[in-house]
Amino acid sequence: FDGTHFDEEEKITEFNYEKFIHKEYLKDINQQSPEFKRLVKRLNFRTKTKYEKHRENQERFKRLMPILRKLNNEETQIFLHLLKNKQRTEMNDRLHRRNLLIDKACSLETEQ
């Protein structure tokens, strides 16, 4: 099909869930139960492939462009400053969470 884009990344389905869920977890679960099948469907619905995320970002950007075009020079500088600070804050949050996990893991080791 010309012009058709296929997502090469695989998502979880009831036919391939073994690739996504650890076998130790699967051995204790009834994989034929309706609850398990609902779980797999929810996981499929909630997860996005890189291509799906890219398409969503493209759509958001298309909606944002008309607004950005109307900004004057001062508003543009304020907006760029906001984006830089947001990115910096998110990076600091990730580092903080990582450090907390490391601290917790180390404290668990010393308790044992």
Instruction: Say if residue 1's pLDDT is above 70.
Output: no
Whole-structure pTM value: 0.53
pLDDT digits (tens, 9 = 90+) for 62-94: 999 999 999 999 999 999 999 888 888 888 888
Cβ within 8 Å of residue 98, ≥6 positions away: none
Dist CA 83 CA 56 (whole Å):
19
Token digits of residue 23:
């076998």
- Residue with tokens 């984006």, as numbered in its chain: 83
pLDDT at 59: 95
pLDDT band at 41 (very low <50, low <70, confident <90, very high): very high
